Amino acid sequence: MRLILFCLLSLFILPIWAETPSLVLAQEYQQQNIIGWAMSEKLDGVRGYWDGKALYSRQGKQFTPPKDWVKDFPPFALDGELFSQRGEFEHISATVRSQNGDWHNIQLFVFDVPSADGDLWQRLQIAQEWKQTHPESNFQIIPQYIVKNQQQAQDFFQEVTKNGGEGVIFRNPRLPYQAGRNTGFLKWKPQFDDECTVIQHLAGKGKFQGKMGAVLCENKYGQFRIGTGFKDTDRQNPPPVGSTITYRYRGFTNKGKPKFASYLRPYQE
């Protein structure tokens, strides 16, 4: 009887998971020919997939927004980014992953309609038509612009990043919605590098058991962890405590720490 009661209670206290959604994923933009493609800002939010009935994360965890938040959503799938405004990633992430977060400033910014036929413009038109007849629905379409030349793309990228945006997305509008990483869906994000001093080695877990899992670093931005970018040889023989390393990062968190810091190499003068 106790086992039965425990199982019943588990239904209410454990997170709701579904199969991992088959979503389109971006490759890195490396100066490919993007003339005629769709261009949009890459929003710094949390991936959200509406399957026509419920809202899921990229990993398949069901989000729990208030019922009124999704009451005007369509019966067909939408793929997009849960977002409010630039610079609010930490707040957005904490809100959508909590059981009782305040969603009133958050919307699903849609960039595709996965189950629809036609090219990108035709698929987005379906979502736009639903939005027109259901103006209170908590989603909107991310503006898409046609790339006329490389300079236009460069100017757009500079404008977005200068104003605090995460980067730019390029889509081949002629392709259908294709799950997985493909050459018709590219992301362009700024990367910076800087130096910091290693002050501690942090033990690895899981596949890194018995090796260095991350380093704790310090520089003018304070203390922060770096756990990616290391080769197996680096983890077996990590940069010595007190040494200086070069790392890459993509902007800063709200707390002023380097964002997505990744090890690059030992500092070279």
The residues assigned a catalytic role are 42
Cβ atoms of residues 82 and 106 within 8 Å? yes
The CA–CA distances, whole Å, from 266 to 191, 217, 240, 245 equal 18, 13, 10, 4
Q: Which amino acid is at 116?
A: A
Give the separation between CA 33 and CA 183, rounded to whole angstroms. 11
Cβ atoms of residues 213 and 227 within 8 Å? yes
Cβ atoms of residues 236 and 217 within 8 Å? no
Both structure tokens of 248: 């890459």
Cβ atoms of residues 84 and 105 within 8 Å? yes
Neighbours of 23 (CB within 10 A): 16
Local structure of residue 258 (DSSP, 8 states): B
Cβ atoms of residues 24 and 185 within 8 Å? yes
Both structure tokens of 56: 């899921």
Sheet of strand 167-171, all strands in order from the earlier edge strand to the far edge? 24-28, 180-188, 167-171, 38-42, 145-146
Cβ atoms of residues 122 and 141 within 8 Å? no
* Residue 70 C-alpha from the chain's centroid: 21
Give the separation between CA 102 and CA 106, rounded to whole angstroms. 9
